[in-house]
Amino acid sequence: MCYLVAKRMKKTGCIALQTEPGEEMAKFADKIQEILGYDIEIITISKHTAYGEYEPYHFVYSYEEFKKEASLL
């Protein structure tokens, strides 16, 4: 299990999706990064509580919801 995270640089908070690592997640992350551009950071982390610099976390529950919410950052 990991978290896919989208964060706009120099802004507080992020969007996070708990997901499984693998090819599907990697392809989605690459695609969404291209769509959103590089002023929004797309990363994966193993434990959201270890990354306080991304708080507060806004958790979403699907790739579609992640895409929608990340585009609003």
Domain boundaries, the chain: 2-70
Q: Model confidence over 22-69: pLDDT tens digits?
A: 999 999 999 999 999 989 999 999 998 889 999 999 999 999 999 999
Q: Looking at residues 5-22, what average pLDDT do you find?
A: 95
Q: Model confidence over 30-39: pLDDT tens digits?
A: 999 999 998 9
Entry pTM: 0.93
Instruction: Please report the pLDDT score of residue 9 as a whole number.
Output: 87
Nearest to 27 by CA among 42, 14, 41, 13: 42
Distance of CA 66 to the CA centre of its chain: 7
Instruction: Please report the pLDDT score of residue 47 as a whole number.
Output: 92
